Amino acid sequence: MVETVGNAAAQATPETVVVTVRHFAAAAEAAGCVEEQLSITGGATLGQLRAALIDRHGQAMARVLDVAAYLQNDELTRDLDDVVGPRVDVLPPFAGG
């Protein structure tokens, strides 16, 4: 389960953690923000986070996430089975050099 929380100091229970999602380029445009805080069930996967972001931001976000990569703990991944960390950067492909 993923839900938006009001601020970074949101209350997390033992079953939930607060994750910061940072959006770049087309992802920021689709989300309408560059950063948001989500309360997510501990142990949730990037696939579950992806589904929640699509539910929240719609088809524009779905199109971006179809080609996006995620940066967690300084590691770039597209593996939707990876467990969500405390901060996830959504990185769509960038044009240019």
Q: What is the pLDDT of residue 13?
A: 58
Asked if 23 and 87 count as a contact pair (C-beta separation under 8 A), the reply is: no
For the chain, the average pLDDT equals 87
Q: How confident is residue 64, by pLDDT bands cut at 50, 70 and 90?
A: very high
pTM for the whole structure: 0.82
pLDDT in tens, 67-79: 999 999 899 999 9
Q: What is the mean pLDDT of residues 46-58?
A: 96
